């Protein structure tokens, strides 16, 4: 790679990082190329030359964000830790409030406006997340942490219900966290408390 190519890669990375940081506090539809250019200290033409459009830039940044989140999830799920800890991660979604707010806001807007993003998320979920969860269920059954009565389908339905309802709580992080902890209790101990 020559000097020009290295410089181009560094500039593209700076533009992507700037865009990602802006998405933490800005709604995607309100971000303009001029704002990104100013904060990244590049010209608007440079952004258009590298990415073609604001939408293409946002898509690339969002896909990188999803890939990173999926990679972290994969890494966590492959750890040799109790199944309960893995399930807690999924239910509690252990993130800082700003990260969670950023993710919810960005995901909602980009999914509503862009079928490509929705398809990308679904593919990541189907190809990577579901197999990891199914493996976790199987591991949990073998170790005795998950009852043989719990089917993969039942587990996935329950988790999807929790995740879907968590989204409706929006940016109210503390309320969301309390709900997640309650669902975790129901998941592990049922409605009647510990067995």
CB atoms within 10 A of CB 4: 8
| 8 A C-beta contact, residue 117 and residue 167 | no
Q: What is the CATH number of domain 1-52?
A: 1.10.10
79-136 pLDDT tens trace? 888 888 888 777 766 544 445 445 545 555 665 566 788 888 889 989 998 899 889 8
Q: How is the chain split into domains, by residue range?
A: 1-52, 54-189
Domain 54-189: which CATH class? mainly alpha
pTM of the full predicted structure? Answer: 0.74
User: For the chain, give me the number of helices (H) and strands (E)?
Assistant: 10, 0
Rounded to an integer, the average pLDDT of 63-75 is 89
**Using CA of residue 13, residue 19, residue 24, residue 29, what is the dihedral sign?**
negative
């Amino acid at each position: 790679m020559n000097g020009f190519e290295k410089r181009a890669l560094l500039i593209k990375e700076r533009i992507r990082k700037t865009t990602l940081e802006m998405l933490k506090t800005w709604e995607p539809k309100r971000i303009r190329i001029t704002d990104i250019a100013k904060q990244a200290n590049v010209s608007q033409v440079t952004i258009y030359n590298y990415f073609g459009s604001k939408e293409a830039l946002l898509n690339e940044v969002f896909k990188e964000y999803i890939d990173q989140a999926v990679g972290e999830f994969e890494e966590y799920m492959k750890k040799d830790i109790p199944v309960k800890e893995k399930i807690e991660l999924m239910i509690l979604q252990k993130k800082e409030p700003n990260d969670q707010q950023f993710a919810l806001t960005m995901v909602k807007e980009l999914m509503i406006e862009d079928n490509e993003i929705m398809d990308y998320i679904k593919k990541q979920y189907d190809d990577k997340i579901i197999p990891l969860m199914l493996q976790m269920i199987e591991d949990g059954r073998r170790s005795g942490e998950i009852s043989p009565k719990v089917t993969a389908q039942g587990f996935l339905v329950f988790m999807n219900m929790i995740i879907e309802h968590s989204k409706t709580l929006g940016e109210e992080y503390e309320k969301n966290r309390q709900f997640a902890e309650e669902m975790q209790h129901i998941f592990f101990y049922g409605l009647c408390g510990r067995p």
